[in-house]
Structure 1
C-alpha cells in the first residue's frame, strides 16, 4: 500500500509517524527493547503529546533475529497466529559498549548506535546485509482512520527480491506491489493462491513478516531503494533470516515455520484425471486406464475430479449413483491394476447437500454476526463453509473423508480454500481478517492429519491448491488454473520457482493446461516439463488429457518421459528426502544453486531438478529453446551431447528431447525398472557419471524402498584414467561414463569395490 506522494509528500489524508532516535534501551541477556520517539527530543516538553514506539528485538534461532514494533500495546490480540515450531528461547546474546548495543545470533548481528539518528543495521561476516533507516519503523493513519504499521528495509545496489509465495508475475519482485491476500485468480494475474509473507534476496538473507492477515508490500515501488511492508494493526513483527547462501536461508526459515513432510514414493509416477466438466463414468475411467496400459504408458495414480459427486451437492462426499453405481467395486478393480486413487474435495457445503442441514443444526458452518449461516451462490448454490476452528466440525468433516478412505481412496485433492469471507464470526473468536489467509492451513492440516492417522507416516499426501506460511508441511501443492498455451506454461513455471523460494519443497501443475485445449505441440512440450517436475499430473477442464487425443507422437512422448521419470526415481526420491530434511525444494530456481553467478539471478524459464539436472522446457512451436549454462562441461542426459559454460545456448529440439543437462562431476542414479516409480532402486542401478575432473569425488546415496533413512551408498573418485568405486550395496550395479552411448560396466551382486577405466 502506498502512503506517499512521490518522495517528499504524503498522500492527502495520510499521516505518518516514524522512529527518529533511541530514547532508552532496556538490555537483557538475550533480548533488548528500544523506545523510539517519533520526533527529535531536545527537552522534557518534547516527550509530551507524541507517540513512543516500542521496538523489541530477540533471536528465536541461530542466524535469525526478530523485530517487533508496537504503537498501542493494549489492542486485543485475536488469533490466528502462525505456529513457529522452531523458535527457541535464549538463543541471542546482547552486548553493549558505549552508545552501541548489539544483539548477536550466531553469525548475524543487529547493531544500534543510540547516539545517532534511528538506524538498525543487520550485519554478518563484516558487512551490512540491510538496514532500517529514518522511515523504516513507524505507523501511518489513512483518511478512514485506519492504523497501519510499516517497516522498510534498504535494498543495496543490484539487490534482487524473490519469493512471497506462488506468484505468476515477473520472477524478480523489484518494482512490484504485492498484496498477501488469498485469491482464486488463476495463473495470469497478480493474485495468488499461495501467499507467503516471506521474501529472500541475492544478498544472503530473507525476511519473514509474521502476520497472518493482509500484508502489503512495496518492493522498490514506492521508495525505489526500499522493501516496504505494512499491516493494518497496532504491531508489526518480522524476522530477518541470514544464510549466507539462499539454501541456508530456506533451511533456517523452514526450521522456524515447518519442514515439508515426505510424500510417498508412489506419488512420483504419472497421475491421470477424469478432467473437470467432461463426461465420465466407470466405463470412461476404464477406457482411460486401459488405453494407457495398451500404449505402454504406466500410470501410478488415477484422480476423480468434482463430478464423482452429484451436481449441486458439493461437498456431500456421496458418489453419484448414476455414473458410479458400484464405487467400492470400481475402486477395488482400479487398485487391482496397481493404481492409487485420489478424490477431489473442497471445504464448502452446498445447500442441496444433506450435510448442509446437518452442519447448520450442529453449528459446524461459519456464521454471520447475526447468527445466520454465511452463504453465497458463487461456485455452488447456497454454498456454506466448514468452520475448522470448531474441533467438533473438524471431526465431523474428517469422519466423512474416513468413509472414503475405507472405500479405497488413498489421497485427496484439497481444492479451494482461498475465497474466505471476512464478514463472519468464527467459532473460536478468530479475527476474520486474519482468518482469510489462514483458513487454508486449518483445512489442509485437518485432511493431512487424517491421512497420516489412517494411512501411516510417510503415506499421507495432498494435492492442494491454497497455502499460507507453514503450508509446506502438507505437500503436494499444484499451480492452480492455467490456460493451455505456451505463455501459461511459462507463467506456471515462474509460480513454481517462486513457491520453491518461499519454503515449499514440492510442486506440480496441470500438464497441458487447465482451461481450453492445448495444441499437440503445447501438449507434448508440457508433458516433457510435467514429467520433469517433482509431481506429474495430466488434467484439464472441458477436455480430456489422455495423450492419444493429441496424436500418436504425443503418446510416444508421454511414454518416453514417464519411463524416464521412473528411471530417475532414486534420484528424485533422494531430492525429496533432502527437501524433507532441509526445506530446499526439489525444483530449484537457478539462483538457488548458483547465487554467485550474476547471469543466474533472473532466470525463470529453466531450473535445477534436484541439485544435478538442469531442465530448460521448450516454449515454442518450432522447438527453439534459449537457456543459460553455468560454468563447466554439462552433458545432455538424453543425447550425450556436451555443452560448455558459462554461456547462453540456442538449440532446436524435436519432441523427444529437450535440454536436460547433468552437472559437471555429477553421478545420476537410474533405476533398472522403468515400469513403476517404486522398485528396488539399488538392485541393478545404473550410475551415470558425467565429466569427472581428475581428483573429483562424489558420494551417491540411493534410497532403499524398505524404509525411510536407509540408503545404498556409492563412493566414486577419479584418479587419472581410473575411476575407483566403493559401495555397501549387496546388489548388482552398473556404471556408465558420459551419455547414454557410453561404455557400460556391469558388476555382480556383492561387488564392494571396482577400479574402472575413465576415458580421457
Structure 2
C-alpha cells in the first residue's frame, strides 16, 4: 500500500480524527529467499499500523523466531524494538542528539520528523527532515522473522560521517566488537565485559586495523547489530558514561545495518554467523591444540640470538615443558624484508634448526610483508611495482612507519608480487628446515592505496589466502572483517598484553569477545604477557598458565625456569614450584585435548564458539550476564580459575548438576560458592554432569 505524500500536519489531523488506516500488508516466509513480495492482510507476516505519532511494524513468531514489534516514532524519528511486550532495543532520543545522525561541514546534524512514508512489497520507506536546512534522511526498513534491515542515507548534502546511536540500557548489556580501544588501557590491560560496564572509544575501527574486530554487537536482551560496511568506522560505547552506543561510518555512502531479534544471545550469534560464515576447517592440528607453542618474543624481545634461543629450547626440554613448536620471533633478519638471517647473531641457522628438532620441537619463524627502506629487497620490489602505492600520490610506493622503522608493504593484489613473496618464503623454509611461520603486522594500511579494482577489505581476504598456504603453528593470524577470515578457521591470537593481573583478566574477556564475533579458535597473548613490561611475577605466570589450560590453545613464551626482565636487563629465576605448576597446567590441557578436539569439530559444523560466556549456555541465569572471570569450554566444562592476587574467589554455578573437580563433590545449581579457596596450586573447574562430552571431560580433569 502506498501512502500519498502529505505534510506531517495533514497526516496528524487525519489520524487525530480516529480514522483507522487499513495498513495490514505482509511479506511471505523469509525462508523462501526472504522474498519481498506484497501479500494479503490474512497472511502471516509483518503488518503495519499507523497512529498519530508512530508507525508500528508487527512481525509474528515464526518457527524458532520469537517475533517482535518495531515502533517508528514520526514526530521525532526514533526506533524502538519490542519483544513479548518489553523493549529490547531503542535508538537515542532527540535529547541525546537523535537516532540517525550525520556530520556535514564539520557540524553534527540529525533526522527530525518524518515527512513522508510508504509501505509496499514488505518495505517501509521513510523520509525525514533534518536539522540541516535542505537536507533530508531517506531510510528503508525491511522486516523479516528474526531481524530487520535498516538502510539510510542523507540527501541534499554530502556528509562526512553517518552514525546510528542507540540507548544502551534499552537492550541490557552489550557484547561483541572484538578487541577494544578504551580510555583505561584497552586492549593491553582493559577489555570491558560487558562493554557497557566500561567505556569503548575506538575512532579507527576498520577492516585494515591490527585489532581483531568485526562490526557486530549483541546484547543480553537477545538483539544484535551488524553494520555492513567496508569503510572505517568510529565506534563509542558509553563514552564518558553517556549511556549511548554510537556506531559511525566515515563515509557518505548509505548506512546499511541488520538488527537481529532472537530469543537468546546464542541465537543472535548464530544469525550473524549465517551472514559472515563459520570456519570451513581448523587451521590448527590436533597436536597444536594439545600442546603449547613456545615463542621467543616475551622471553627475549629483540635481544635474541642463536645461543640464547638454543639455551631457551634446552631449558624447556630439560624441565619437561613440552610443546609442539618453538618459534623464533623478531629479531632474526639481517634487515626487515631481507628474509635472510643476521650472520652475526645466527652464525649457523641450519645447525640451530637441527638442534631444535632434536629437542622435539618443530621450528618456526616470525615474518612480515613489510619491507624496510634499508632492506636490500626494498628497491627491487619498488622498481617492479610490488609494493602498495601511496594514497596521496599513487605514483610512488606507500611508506609506513611501524615499530621497527619505515617500510613499504607487499601488494598482495598484484599476482606477481604475491608470487615473488611466497617463493622467497618457501626458499627460506627449505634452506633452514623451517616448519611454519608466524605472520605479523597488517596486510594493508589506510595510508596506502589499494590496487585498481580492489578495496581495503580485499586485503583481509588476500592475507588469509596467503597465510592459508603455510603452517601457522597454532599461533594463527590476525585477519578479520571479511568472510574469508571467518571461513579460513585460523587460530586468533590477541594483541600484546601487559604482565600484570589486569592484563590476565583482560586476556579472558578479550577471548570471550573475539570468539563471539565469529573466531572460535582463540588463544590469549603469550602466557605471562609481554608489552615490554617487567617480567611477570611467579603468581601471574602460574595463574595465566592455569587459565590458558582451560582455553582452546596455549600460546607460551616466558619460561617458568628463568627469563630476562626487559626493563632492567636482569635475569629473573623462578623457583622449582613455578615450573612444576606450569607443567601441571600443560598436562591438564593435554589431557583435555580429546574433549577440546570434539568442540573443534562442533565449531566446524555450527560456527559456535568453543570458549564462550556462561550465558550462551544458560541464557535464563541472570547472574551469568556479568560474569567476567569464568567461562564455558564447550557444553560440559565451567572454567573458573583464579585471576586475581587473592586467596579465594566466588564461583557462580548455573542450573544443573555439577562436579567440583578440585573438591571431589557434586553440587546442584544454581548457587554461588563464596570464598572458594584458591591456593596457588588450585584451579577451580566444574563439569556439568549429563552434558555432551561430560564423561570425556571428567576423565581428563579428575
Q: Which category describes the TM-score, using the shorter chain as reference length?
A: 0.7 to 0.9
> Could you tell me how far 1:622 is from its partner in structure 2?
4.5
Task: Tell me the distance in 2 between the aligned counterparts of 1:248 and 1:526.
Answer: 31
Name the CA distance, whole Å, in 1 between partners of 2:499 and 2:615.
Answer: 28
Report 1:544-559 matches (<5 A).
549-559=573-583
Query: Considering only aligned residues, what root-mean-square deviation do their CA atoms show, in Å?
Result: 4.0
What is the 5 A alignment of 1:666-745?
666=691, 687=696, 740=702
Counterpart residue number, 2:644: 620
Alignment of 1:528-543 (within 5 A): 528-539=546-557, 543=564
1:148 and 2:161 are equivalent in the alignment: yes
- Per-residue CA shift, 1:323-353, capped at 9, x if unaligned? 3344345434434544233321222111121
Q: 2:526 corresponds to which residue?
A: 510
The counterpart of 1:273, out of the listed 295, 319, 322, is 295
Tell me: CA distance 1:279–1:486, structure 2 relative to 1, closer, same or farther (3 Å): same
TM-score, normalising length: structure 1: 0.68
Distance apart, 1:638 and its partner CA: 4.1
Aligned to 1:179: 202
Q: CA deviation at 1:365?
A: 1.2
Q: 2:541 aligns with which of 514, 517, 523?
A: 523
Distance change in 2, residues 1:598/1:367 (3 Å): same
Aligned-pair CA distance for 1:609: 1.7
Distance 1:383 1:147, change over 3 A: closer
1:264 equivalent in structure 2 = 285
Spell out, residue by residue over 1:85-122, the C-alpha distance to the aligned partner (whole angstroms, 9 max, x if none): xxx95456654648547778863768678996666665
State yes or no: 1:318 paired with 2:340.
yes
The CA distance in 2 between the partners of 1:687 and 1:112, in whole Å, is 46
Question: Among 587, 593, 604, which residue is 1:563 paired with?
Answer: 587
Question: Is it true that 1:164 corresponds to 2:180 in the alignment?
Answer: no
Q: Deviations over 1:452-476 (max 9, x none)?
A: xxx6xxx886522453354343421
Q: 500, 508, 533: which one pairs with 1:493? A: 508
Q: Is the 8 A contact 2:171 2:221 kept in 1?
A: no
The 3 A distance-change label for structure 1 pair 381 and 227 is: closer
Q: Any gaps of 5 or more consecutive residues in structure 1?
A: 1-21, 26-35, 44-57, 64-87, 185-190, 670-685, 690-734, 741-760
Aligned to 1:284: 308
The residue that corresponds to 2:499 in the other structure is 484
Distance apart, 1:171 and its partner CA = 1.1
CA distance in 2, matches of 1:419, 1:367: 11
Q: What's the offset of the Cα at 1:604?
A: 0.9
Distance 1:511 1:61, change over 3 A: farther
Judge conservation of contact 1:60–1:89 (CA < 8 Å) in 2. no
Answering whether residue 368 of structure 2 is matched by residue 355 of structure 1, we say no
Q: Identify which of 239, 251, 274 aligns with 1:255.
A: 274
Q: CA deviation at 1:594?
A: 1.9
Report the CA distance between 1:639 and its aligned residue: 4.2
Q: For 1:604, what is the secondary structure of its paired residue?
A: coil
Question: What residue is the counterpart of 2:413 in the other structure?
Answer: 389
Hey, what's the Cα distance between the residues in 1 that align with 2:416 and 2:27? 37
Matches within 5 A, 1:182-261: 193-219=211-237, 227-232=245-250, 233-260=252-279, 261=281
Q: Contact 1:527–1:558 at 8 Å: present in 2 too?
A: yes
Q: Give the conservation status (yes or no) of the 8 Å contact 1:111–1:120.
A: no
8 A contact 1:166–1:195 mirrored in 2: yes
Shift of 1:561: 1.4
Q: How far does the alpha carbon of each residue in 1:554-599 deviate from its partner, in whole angstroms, 9 at most, with x for none? A: 1101211111111111101111222222222221122222221111
Query: Which whole-Å deviations, capped at 9, do the CAs of 1:729-753 have from their partners, x for residues lacking one?
Result: xxxxxx79xx83xxxxxxxxxxxxx
TM superposition shift of 1:449:
2.9
Q: Is the 8 A contact 1:278 1:543 kept in 2?
A: no
Secondary structure at the counterpart of residue 568 of structure 1: helix
Kindly indicate whether residue 683 of structure 2 is the aligned counterpart of residue 658 of structure 1: yes
Mapped to 2, the partners of 1:113 and 1:487 lie a distance apart of 42
CA distances 1:130-157 after superposition (whole Å, capped 9, x unpaired): 4568743464425267433233455565
Question: Structure 1 CA distance, aligned partners of 2:309 and 2:27?
Answer: 54
- Tell me how far 1:405 sits from its aligned partner: 4.2
1:409 aligned residue = 434
Aligned to 1:695: none
Conserved? CA contact 2:88–2:170, under 8 Å: no
Structure 1's 206 and 61: CA in aligned 2 closer, same or farther, altered over 3 A? farther
Partner SS, residue 323 of structure 2: coil
Q: SS in structure 2 opposite 1:543?
A: strand
Between the aligned partners of 2:572 and 2:240, the Cα distance in structure 1 is: 51
Per the TM alignment, residue 613 of structure 1 is displaced from its structure 2 partner at its CA by 1.3
Query: Kindly tell me: are residues 155 and 655 of structure 1, through their superposed partners in 2, closer, same or farther at Cα, counting changes over 3 Å?
Result: closer
Distance 1:606 1:133, change over 3 A: closer
- Alpha-carbon distance between aligned partners in 2 of 1:460 and 1:295, rounded to the nearest angstrom: 22
Relative distance call for 1:224 and 1:378 in structure 2 (3 A) is: closer
Contact 1:92 1:103 in 2 (8 A): no
Aligned in 2, Cα 1:527/1:589: closer, same or farther, shift over 3 Å?
same
1:382 & 1:151 partners in 2: Cα distance?
37
TM-score (norm 2): 0.73
Query: Where does residue 449 of structure 1 map in the other structure?
Result: 468
Tell me if structure 2 keeps the 8 A contact 1:129–1:205.
Answer: yes
- Partner of 1:399, secondary structure, is helix
Contact 1:412 1:463 in 2 (8 A): no
Counterpart for residue 582 of structure 1:
606
**Partner SS state of residue 8, structure 2:** coil
Count the aligned residue pairs: 587
Q: 1:291 to 1:114 in 2, by over 3 A?
A: closer
In the alignment, structure 2 segments of 5+ residues that lack a partner are 12-25, 42-46, 50-56, 108-157, 181-189
Match of 1:473 in 2: 487
- Shift, 1:240, TM fit: 2.2
